[in-house]
Structures are given as C-alpha cells and as structure tokens.
Structure 1
C-alpha cells in the first residue's frame, strides 16, 4: 500500500511588524505551548543497511504524532525536540524491513541512534522480485497473502490461478508443468529445498500438496545453483508453514461442479468434495502445526473429441458430447511440523499421502476400469543455528512410496498389474557467512532407488554435490546506486555416469533507490543438467517401448536479464521486463524406430528464447489492483533430420497473456482473470497446430465474523464461457466449473 508522505520538521520564524496584535498574541501562546510540549530530548542518528552502508530516503516517523523526517544521502536524520516520555520511532523504506525503536525522552539532552535495516523482498502481489543480499536470480514468489486470497485447495490450482506458468493435469494422473518452454520432467520441484520429483520418470503430482501447509512458493525460472544444478527447466520450491499463533484451529470445505453447455447437467458432475483441517500452537518452548486434507472427486464432465486441433477434422466431426469417466481422484494427506525453540531450532517434519486415481485414457483409446494407487511417506529433521556472521542448516531426509498400476480393459484385451517401489534418503548441509563479502556453501549426498518389474528389478543411484557462491556488494560514492557481483560453482558426482560434472553461475545486480522510484536490473548466467530418469534408462521391451542405458545427461545453459521499475510516490505502479534464452544439448526424446519400437535417444539439442513483461498498478489505497503478464517464446529444434531440424518444439505456446482485476469493498473481494494461450504445434514437422484458446475466471469472496470467528466464503466460476480446448492433443480439458468453498478460522 502506498504511504502518504508526512511533512518534515521545519524551523518557524515570526515577523510581527505588520501583524495584528491579537494574532501575534495567539501565535506567541501557540509557540510557548509547542515548546512546553516538546521540551524533551533532541534525537538524531544514522540509518544503514546490515553492511554499514548509509540508506537515504528512509521515512522516520513517531508513532501517534504528526512528525516525520527523511534521511539524507548520508543516512542522517534529526528531530530538534521531542516531548517527555516513552516514544516509538518507526523507520520505513520500500527496499527494507520496517523497524521500530523505543526511546525515553527527557533524561538526556541528545539521544543519538545507529539503526540498521535488513533488505526485504519487493511484493508485486502475486509476483515479488528480490533485491536483497541473499538472492541474485530472477525469482517469482507467491506470498502468504496471495495463497489465502486464491482460495485454492492444492498447489496445482494455486499455480494455475496465481502465475502465468503453463500448469495442467491432462491425463488425470500427473501434473504437466512448463516454465519458459521446458518439459515437466525438466522442472525440479522441491519441498523445503528437497527435491520431490519421481526418480522413475521425473513426474510430480502437485494436487497432492494442499495449500493449508504452504507458507510461500518460490519459482526460479532460470534455476539456482544454491538449490540444485538439476534445473534445466527451472525450479519450484514450496516452503511449508511454521506455527506463529498461540493457538489456531481451521476447518475448510470445497465443492466443485462441472456445468457445460455441451449437454445436460447430471448430479454426478457435482460429486467433487474437498475437506481440510489444520491445528497450530506456538509457545515460548515449541511450535507445532498439523494439517489433514481429504479429497473425493469424481471429476466427471462432458467433452467432444477434436477441440479444433485441426479445423478440417473439426468441421467434419459430429462433435457429439461425451461423458468423461474413470477420472476420479481420491486422496488423504497429513502433515505435521514440530519445532523446538532452542539454540539449534530442531524441527521434525512428517507427511503422508494416500491416493487413488482413475486412468481415463485418451481420445481413441479410452480406459474404463484402470486406476493407479499411490502411498507416499516423507520425513525430515532440520537443525538451524545462527551465530552472528555464520548461519548453518542441517537437513536429514528420506521418503518411501509404493505405486500400483492396474490395467483392466477386457474389451481392448489390454490387462496387467504392476507394482513399483521408490525410496530415497540423503543429507544436506548449508553454511552461510555474511560480512565484507557474502559466502554461501554446502553439500548434499543422497541415494535414489526404484524396484519395478517394468525396469527388470532393482536400480540405485548415488549422488553427491558440493557448491559455493561468493557475492560482493558495492555502493557507488555519493550516489544511491548499488552494485552486486556474484560467482558460484557446483560439482556433482553420480554413480550412473561415474564422473564429476562442474556447473557455474555468475551475474550482476544493479539497483537505484530514491523516494520517487526504485529500479533494479539483474543479469545471470547459469549452467545446469538433468540425469536420465530410470524409466528412460532401463524400461524393458514390451513390444512397444524400450529403455536406452547409453543415454547421456541433458545439459543446459540459461541466460536471463530482468529489469524492474517501481514508483514509490504518487502512484503504485511496477513495471517488469525479462529477456531469457535457454540452450539444451543432448536433449532426450522418445523416438519411433523403423521396427515400430519407441526408444529414448539424445538429439543434438533445442533452443528457447523469449521475453516476459508485466505491469502491476493499484488504485484507491490498494482496493483496486490490475496486473498483467505477457510472455513470448521462440523455440527451435536441432536434429539430424531435415524434416524436423529447425522446427518449433512441440507443445510450446508461442504467447501467453494473463490479466487480473481485483476489487475490494469492505469485506468483499471480486476478482477476474483472463488467460490467452497462443498457438502450439502437435508434431515435430509443425504440420498440425493446436489453436489458441482463451479462459475467463471469476471469483467472489466474503469475510464474516461469526461468534467471534472468521468465516470466509468463496465462489469461483472457472472457464466461465465454457471454452473447448486441449493442452495436449487427445486429452480434452473441462468446460465450465463452479466452486463453492468455506473456511472457518477459530
């Protein structure tokens, strides 16, 4: 919210020669009263950052008094006289965490202060760009406020409603994620800094992570070596909550109904129910949070086969609406986090997820009885220690999961049951040092394992990594300009390729801050890679596909430059523009051979480049917000086949536009979101395009106080114009959806 600028203290003078005597007497009495009121101490001081660099433009105010000062280029401020008694000074700057300092006026004639402010994250509502000393990359953050406002039940729905990423569930099983044109298995998904992608195929189901346990979500579109070098397609890091309330209790319920113009509504279209419960307690000695969620969704809706993937086929198709079946989703999740408030802050995190998902198949090959059952258990022990200039964090973690696939289609004579077992465990240690120079370092060792009939038994892979990054910040003399340079490296060893792989990152951050505006520019280079997953390496021949144990890791180079301009006065406006390019060598693709068998191979590579641009503006004390993001992609394949060389990479939308309107009146919030996804290609020869589509979503939420407790009611209308579209050809997407949700907080 934009803050009104308070007037500065100014010395006043009086000229009595031509002023009426009555007015003069009144003025003198006011002056005497003023001096008697402010007969206490003088207060001055300097404001610096945590490295001792002066900060100009800091707003220094006194609580409950109409006085304010602005620090000069030396970070200096001064109040001539204060009233006697206890006072609270507040220090505010758009680039730093607000700080309050208490003083007692009257005992001393002069009180001199030295105040240090910590850098903070800039919030662009659902997008925050970072200019602090702990981060050097272009990063998007979904903040706690945005998670609450989204009224989303799980992470997949949250990312769909709060970002311009391409995220969908196209087959009823896993989540399809694309960051700047990357494939889903190239995107590293983390929970509290630990990778949770399946070692089998790189997949992850974001529907299984409820938003009730999430504090914030960090999105690194170009990767970050401090977290992982396996980020050819970027990183999504989900940070879980910690208990901060003395005691809290929350109940939630959500129902979804599919309501399309394609056919008559049936009662089964509304058999989609979600329940949630969370309990938290925080005391001087410990903090605990427990969350549980239950989902029982039939996911039945109508569709037609073609959805304009090819105009000729679409016109000549009967386009009879069909009923989507066997796509039900049942899930039960629990999460517990216990933290002991001691020197090393030991924290135990336990979670579980049990789910059953129907397999509807795809157009032309529908399944009616097939399903997948999953059981997943995770645990980690975290210990942190802060000792002045050093910060350390130790994380011991492990997971175990079982996956059962049942194919029971007697009509197609396709039957079978398989069971897969996954396990991993590891240790991760981070050590940071902040002084004249900032150093980040750490190491991680882990083992991934899978046992599956489809892979001819048991397979293991040991991984070890060591990383370090150095950063140095410079403040230009006599100017409100800052420069920061960083260079980092990460070294990875894998038992599968039996050698050490080096990766590097370097970049520069420039920022200028004034009372009128702030401008930040970030440039970053980073090298990454992705190991082949177990299914690509060891899938056994079943007369349709076969693994390739000779696959090489994919290697990527990411270059990005982002510029962000925020106006601090007169208007709440932020503009952003990001340029990026990503080159991938030894790209892994499944290709059909002359014998009809699909085998994964390494292609020469692929190139992706483009830009993201955004605007965020607020009016009427943040009651009206307008946000827009537009992205453009240019992709190119590099192959040895003249028919596909130089073509666009399949399923990569050229353009993506999102526009959000949010209007708040008292306890009612009205939100509208428009999404336009551009043309994509279905084949490597680029002969068949998937037509562009547009989606409109409307949301209304109401906050009430019921018997002293907060009740939030939300109504969402997704795809309100019943758009018929496909993200991947052969997998139709739902039409209009109506969601009604309640959340009661005690």
Structure 2
C-alpha cells in the first residue's frame, strides 16, 4: 500500500513535478519487474483456450461431485472469477444490489447509446438534455452524478474537470455486458479506485472467442433512422497465434437531430402552443478501438487496449419563447485518447496478482459565437492529461475466505488557454484492504479504503490536500436451505472530491471546499425460483418441450445521507456566484425488481422484467431556507421501467416502457416548477437469417411510440416518435 506524508514541497510548483515523475518511475519499474517474474514463472505451461475451458469444467464437476458448496464451486481457483453462473443468480446472491444487462438484452432495449440502456436500471436517473448530442449523466439513488463511477473494461473513466462522465458518448457496439453496482461490487480482487464511489457503472466489451476453430470473425452493422441518423460500424477479431488474439473496431455516427416538438406557452391545453423544430442538435462522432489479448499460460493473461474518440456537436440549449431559431449557436468539440493495459497472474491456487495502467489525454473546445458580452463571442479550450497505475494482490487463505490488497496512484493535470489560469495537478493515492467470506448460505465482504490527495498549481494558491478513511461492510444470508431466499444488508461511507471546476474556475471556484461525504445504508430481500415448463413428456429432448423457467425478485430499502454538498450559490448578487459547501440531503427509497422467463413451447419463449423505484430525497441544508424539507430537483418520487421479449421460431418481438412521475425543476417545490410525469413506449421486431456469408440480423424499431411530448430537464424537449432500421452481418 502506498502512503505519503504531507510536507512543504507538496505545493512547490518546481520540485513537485520531479517528485511526481519519480513516483511513477517507481511504479513503472515495479510493474515491469512483476511482468518479468510472471512470464519467467511458468514458461512452459501454456495451453490453448479450449484446453483451459475444458480443465475448468472438469474441476468444477469434480468439486460438485464432492459436495462442495454451490457458491464456492462457482468460484473455481480464481475465487473472484465466476465461471458458470446466470446473471440473475449473481443478482440474487450479491450482498449489495447489482443489475446486469447482457448483450442479448441490450439488443432488445432499443438502446443506441449507453444512456438509453441505463434508464432501465432501478434507482438510476439519467439527466438528459435532449437528442443524441445532448449531455447525459447518471445519478444513482439521488446521490448525484459525481458519486457514480464509470469503468470501461475494469479501468475507471475519469474527468477531473467536471467530475462526471457524459455516458451519451459511449457506444453499445461490441458491448458484452453492462453492470450497475449500488454500494460495492462483491468481487474484492479489484483496483483500489473501484472501491471509492457510492455506485459504479461497468461496461465490458466482448473478448474474441474462437472456440469453433475459426481464426477470423467479426460484425458489420448499419443503423439508420429518423432525424438524419446514419450509424455504420464494424468489428473484427483475429487469432494471431495460439497465445495472442486481436480485435479492431470502428464506429461513425452522424445525425441532424432536428426533431419536431410542441412548445407550450403556459398551461397545456389552456394556453397557446406551437410546433417547433429542434435547432443546433446535430452530432458527428467517430470511435476507433483496438485491443491485443494474450494468454501466456493457464495462469497468466494480459490485455492491451487503445481507444480514440472524436466528436463535434451542437448544444441545443433551453427553449426560449418566440426565439427558437437563433438562441442556440453553441458548439462543442472533444477528443479522447487513452491506452490501458491489464496483466493477471496466478502464482498458485492461493496467490494471484494483477496490474493495471492507463494513459489518458482529453481535449475540449467550447464556442459560443452569439455571446452577449462585449466581445460578441466566447471560447474555452481545456486539455486533460492523466496517468494511472494500480497493483492488486489476492490471497485465498481458505476455501471460503479470501483477502485482497490494492494500491493505486494517479496524476491528473488540466490546462486551459486562459491567461492566469491555475493549471492544477492532483496526485491521488488510494490503498485498500478487503476480505470476503463465501459459503453456500452466507456471503460477507468488508473493506477499508484510504485516500490521500496532493494538490499543486502553476499559478496562484493550491487547494488543500485531503485524506480520508472509508469503510464498507456487507452481508447476505440464506436462512432456508430448501428455498433460494436471501436477506442482505450493507453500509458504505464514501466521498467525492471537489472537481477542478469547483476549485479553480475563474470567479466561481473556491479553494477551501470540503469533499462531499455520503453515507449509504441498505437492507434487502432477494428470491429466486426455478419452475418446470410445460412438456409432452418427462424428458427434456426434441420430442418434448420441457424447459426450465425461472422467476427472480429483489426488494431493497435504503437510507442515504450527503453532507457538505457542493452547490453554486450567489455571494453578493445574482451575477456573482461561487461554489460552497451548503448542502445536506437525506434520501429514503425503495427499489423493486422482478424478472422471469416462460417457455411457452419448445421454440417459443417469453421474457419479462419490471423495475420500480420510490425516492424521497429531501433538502436538509438549512431549516431557515424556503427549500428545507423539499424534494431535490429532477427527482421523481415514483419511476420505473418494463420490458417484454417474445422469442418466436421466425421472429423476435420486444416491447419496452420507461415512465416517471411528477418532479420539480427547482429546489422550491411550488406549482410553477412542477413538471408532469411521462411514459415512453418502444417496440421492435427482429429476424436472424443464416446465409453462407454469415448470419444477417434485421431489426425495425419504433421509439416513443405514442409520440408523447415530454422533458426530462425543463426546456430541453425530448424527441417524439421516431424509427430506426438496424442491419448487421455476423461472419
């Protein structure tokens, strides 16, 4: 674990960069030595992926034959890697709420971007500024987007400038699984950064799979639809040798985004209204991604991934009465490039080590050519540079008990093309120790995370350095051996650091901000049952259609509290604002999720799922203020989603529903700020056609089928009814 003692030179702008570079050189040398040791340890024990899979299955059957508890047998040798387990089983057994969408489920959710899929998670709220190009952030259980970490293939995506990730720019092409963890992941063999946030959204890409003996496969797809959508993509996997494989993917998306909407000039149905068309909502982005995978032996594997994203988009802005054409001219250009790597090695059945590293560069340009100031135009350019390294160690002390330790070090710097800009740098050290107990009827995890930050600037005064210990404890019990009914609970304390905008933005940033402190308490119930399907005979074979049906349900009640909430507050008049620690929020809620499948015939299956969320998120900042005990903005008390998928022999049909109750667009809950609830219905039909070139998939989607006019954020209308056609070839 890495700890640093604060001293005078941590703020010195001349010696501090040398110290930071020295720390990274030490980390790099350590990781290199580990890699050398890993490769030299087992030079001749390589087996192919098929042999590895066969060995895993053999050991699983041997353990199950000896009566090893089910939960332990599912975590063979690498106790943090589930080998054979349905996603619903993971959701039921977990000590903290976890929701999983597989690649097949994503295909039926009418999701073009990651934000479209996340809307179907209970407890998750998307702040959507409308259209394809609008900003989209996710908040889980009303804690705010800053408390939700987003990880891509195990490594966190960071934005030290704003502290929140725009998930609207993340594609679902070649995504194998999207997982939302509320509280903490039950896996303890993770980088220390994965323990830091109140919740985490994880995106996992599909790895090459050549089990059928092919050396080359891939996918090419084309999506087109309303409002000028044109979205081609391709992905190709190739086996380079018995040890190495590679993948390469690209996606281009272009859309005008000029959808029509109804502008109300007062109360709907009473005052006048007009049909308008959304302006400056176009988007043009390109994504390139490549990955190299290495399986050096049964015990050693590695992955190296490069990612590039380029985007230009219009910022449509809020609608303004009688000025819908000329009010929004703002443009945004951003470029993201990162290289990340992972290596994992098992020294024995007890000791496993992994290392992660990442180098990230980001570019953001904002232009307002219709700025109302004296200059007539406003432009900002920001650059971010981050280096990240992590080493984790897992020790399996006993069959049921594991321990882990992880240490991360990251350095992030932001540059701006402004005079007298502070040019801040933050070095963050995180170290964690964790333990996990697993048996057939009990699972318990605990960890203690230590975070220390070092702030420095090139100009002006740096913010204070911060350090904090963050505990976590979770437990899941199965009281009855014959029923898969479980009781679970967790407590977590986490915090989020002030962003660079909070601290250093000219005329607004405040250097002495305290971190936001979040406390989470959750108590839940989970239930799963397997049911026999209808059949003509007792055998599950071609002549009968007896298949296993299943039903799962989870119910969680929670209490969250946020202290030192960072808010923008007027300091002298409405033209002078500053970031201050003024907020306290108390959140009480319930999440309910049910899911099931029914095999109607041998070739017909019905899948159904529904989520419901109740949230009371009250402002507890100051009893003397008018907003005290009022619901915080854009938080409905009632919301939910539903989905139905019917698999027929000749066609797949899917229906989705998103709905939200009333909410307020202001912290003061008066009638003038009340926003109506809404529902969004989607329908699709898809067909797979086998050909000699590969499998062709055709899908027709109808979105917002009832053409409802609604807003998630006030004055940012969402698209009405639209259509998409998706065509893909798997070869």
TM-score normalised to the size of structure 1? 0.77
Q: Distance in 1 between matches of 2:700 and 2:120?
A: 14
Confirm or deny: 8 A CA contact 1:359 1:367 kept in the other structure. no
2:87 corresponding residue in structure 1: 123
Partner of 1:301: 259
Alignment partner of 1:737 out of 709, 722, 729? 722
Higher relative contact order (CA 8 A, sep 6+): 2
Residue 529 of structure 1 corresponds to which residue in structure 2?
A: 495
**1:146-185 matched pairs, under 5 angstroms:** 146-150=105-109, 152-160=111-119, 165-167=124-126, 169-170=128-129, 172-185=133-146
Partner of 1:260: none
Give distance in 2, aligned partners of 1:354 and 1:294.
10
Verify the 8 A CA contact 1:95 1:120 in the aligned structure 2.
no
Aligned to 2:305: 349
Matched, 1:507 2:464: no
Q: CA deviation at 1:718?
A: 1.0
8 Å Cα contact 2:92/2:552 also seen in 1: no
Structure 1, 137-146 or 450-459: larger mean CA deviation: 450-459
2:537 matched residue in structure 1: none
- Separation in 2 of the partners of 1:118 and 1:415? 55
SS of residue in 2 equivalent to 1:330: strand
* Contact 1:174–1:204 (CA under 8 A) maintained in structure 2: no
d(CA) in 2 for partners of 1:680, 1:122: 36
The 3 A distance-change label for structure 1 pair 316 and 153 is closer
Give the 3-state SS of the residue equivalent to 2:105 in structure 1: helix
| 1:462-491 Cα deviation digits (max 9, x unpaired) | 1001001112235xxxxxx62233321000
Count of residue pairs brought into register by the alignment: 618
Structure 1 residue 278 corresponds to structure 2 residue 278: no
Paired position in structure 1 for 2:99? 140
CA contact (8 A) 1:511 1:520 kept: yes
Task: Tell me which residue corresponds to 1:583.
Answer: 561
2:67 aligned residue:
75
- How far residue 567 of structure 1 moved from its aligned partner, in angstroms, is 0.9
1:490 maps to 2:449:
yes
CA contact (8 A) 2:284 2:313 kept: yes
Residue 394 (structure 2) pairs with residue 416 (structure 1)? no
Residue 604 of structure 1: CA displacement? 4.5
Q: 1:228 to 1:121 in 2, by over 3 A?
A: farther
Matches within 5 A, 1:87-98: none
Counterparts in 2 of 1:205 and 1:316: CA distance versus 1, 3 Å? same
- After superposition, the Cα gap between the structure-2 partners of 1:316 and 1:452, relative to the gap in structure 1 and judged at 3 Å, is farther
Larger strand proportion, structure 1 or 2?
1
- Residue 468 in structure 1 maps to residue 433 in structure 2: yes
Aligned position for 2:333? 373
Structure 2 CA distance for partners of 1:119 and 1:341, relative to 1, 3 Å: closer
| Structure 2: runs of 5+ lacking an equivalent | 1-56, 456-463, 533-548
> Quick one: distance in 2 between partners of 1:579 and 1:489?
24
Residue 694 of structure 1 aligns to a residue in which SS?
Answer: strand
SS in 2 for 1:157: helix
Deviation per CA, 1:711-737: give whole Å up to 9, x if none. Answer: 111111111001111111121111111
Which residue in the other structure is 1:635 paired with? Answer: 617
Question: Does residue 574 of structure 1 match 2:552?
Answer: yes
Distance 1:149 1:658, change over 3 A: closer
Question: SS state of the match for residue 668, structure 2?
Answer: coil
Contact 1:675 1:696 survives alignment (8 Å): yes
Larger radius of gyration: 1
Where in structure 2 are the equivalents of 1:287-686 lying within 5 Å? Answer: 287-306=245-264, 313-343=267-297, 344-364=300-320, 367-387=327-347, 388-409=349-370, 414-436=376-398, 437-453=401-417, 456-473=421-438, 482-496=441-455, 497-511=464-478, 517-541=483-507, 546-570=508-532, 572-596=550-574, 597-620=576-599, 623-640=605-622, 641-686=624-669
DSSP-derived class of the 1:521 partner: strand
The alignment's TM-score, normalised by the length of structure 2, stands at: 0.79
Match for residue 705 of structure 2? 720
Distance 1:612 1:440 in 2: 31
CA shift in 2, pair 1:509/1:128, >3 Å: closer
Structure 1 CA distance for aligned equivalents of residues 151 and 173 of structure 2: 17
| Superposed structure 1 runs of 4+ greater than 6 Å apart | 47-52, 92-96, 410-413
- Give the C-alpha shift of residue 386 in structure 1: 1.7
1:120-147, Cα deviation, whole Å (9 max, x unpaired)? 54433xx95063xxx6432112223323
Q: What is the alpha-carbon distance in structure 2 between the residues aligned to residue 626 and residue 730 of structure 1? A: 34
Q: CA deviation at 1:509?
A: 1.6
Instruction: Give the Cα separation in 2 of the matches to 1:142 and 1:685.
Output: 36
Give the secondary-structure state (helix, strand or coil) at the position aligned to 2:173.
helix
**Matching of residues 198-277 of structure 1 within 5 Å:** 198-224=159-185, 228=193, 233-245=198-210, 246-257=215-226, 269=227, 271-277=228-234
Deviation at 1:94, TM superposition (A): 9.9
Stretches of structure 1 that go unaligned for 5 or more consecutive residues are 1-46, 56-70, 77-91, 100-116, 258-268, 475-480
1:693 is displaced (CA, Å) by 0.9
Would the alpha carbon gap of residues 368 and 737 (structure 1) be closer, same or farther in structure 2, given more than 3 Å must change? same
**Shift of residue 598 of structure 1?**
2.2
Within 1, Cα distance between the matches of 2:135 and 2:263?
21
Post-superposition CA distance 1:510-546 (Å, at most 9, x none)? 13676x64123221111100001111111112xxxx1
Q: Aligned partners of 1:129, 1:511: CA distance in 2, in Å? A: 14
1:342 positional shift: 0.8
